[in-house]
Amino acid sequence: MNEREAEQHTVTVPAGSAGGRVDVVLSAALSMSRSAVQHLLDAGAVTKAGAAVSKSQRVEEGDVFAVSLPPLQDCEVLPENIPLDIVYEDDDIIVVNKPQGMVVHPAPGHTEGTLVSALLYHAGGSLSDINGVIRPGIVHRIDRDTSGLIAVAKNNAAHQSLAAQLADHSMYRIYSAILRGRVSDEGTVDAPIGRHRTDRKKMAVLRDGGRSAVTHYTPVRALAGHTLCRMQLETGRTHQIRVHMAYIGHPVLGDPVYGGVQTPFEKKHPALFHGQCLHAAELSFVHPTTGKEVTFRCDPPENFVRIVKLLKQE
């Protein structure tokens, strides 16, 4: 049994969350289910100024909560019969269109309902094991509330080939994003990203100590107070597009972590938002066996399309 260390997180309540229940606020901040957060609160794993916190407690702006997430054990990953939207599959790779809301691999607070569990059920032992038993086949990942394409390796040779293409930036990943504000020109954000200094759940642009991160963006369509953009990743840091776009003053619409206070549009159409409006729309790489370049595309989810239509009308 390979047990990982407990994770320690600090959550500071933003102005837009003042007055909310602590379990609801922490659920959004930690990208965990509300029931999982309630279990942490019941176990005394959430404290404020050293004192345990009740799950019915209301929060105030600037409140700081310390959260201790229990360690995840490798042996807890089990196959689950979860439908997959498979765009392509052969003996070497699987390309999956991951839905918004699905976690890629198990993590504290998310041990069930993951893409890995679905892949284990679908492919059985036919997945690479380079990344260990909690990430079989996983070469790269996207955030829980980002939808779109992920390439999965079914054997170690395929995994090594895809990982090498990620490392040398020859794997092309194109995203669609709805950004807040008007973006009139294409551009590039070249700004290093690292773990946030005080909130360990977040990433941030760090000129000192961050890892190189480059994002290219191109406006596709002007919307009412927003812009539909095409994003190309040159590197693949955690939350890269979300951090970079917030850094230049155009956060991704619907982003609960980097977007700040909700926009009037978000407040008007809450049922349409299940996280950030970010979709991994296109994936290109050289096939590990044939040596030919392959490209896969998928349309954004219905709520993303609906939001674009509504913003066209305003």
- The tokens describing 199, both together, are 């909130």
Alpha-carbon distance 50 to 52, whole Å? 7
Q: How many CB atoms lie within 10 A of CB 208?
A: 6
Whether 294 contacts 285, CB under 8 Å: yes
Q: Which residue in this structure is represented by tokens 């812009």?
A: 227
Query: Is 143 tagged catalytic?
Result: yes
> Which residue in 183, 253, 220, 224 sits closest to 311, CA to CA?
224
Point out the catalytic residue in the list 63, 143, 145, 255: 143
Q: At what angle do helices 22-30 and 34-42 cross, to 10 degrees?
A: 120
CB 67 within 8 A of CB 30: yes
Q: Given phi > 0 = left and psi -120 to 50 = alpha, else beta, which region is 124?
A: left
Tokens read off for 145: 């509330």
Catalytic residues: 143
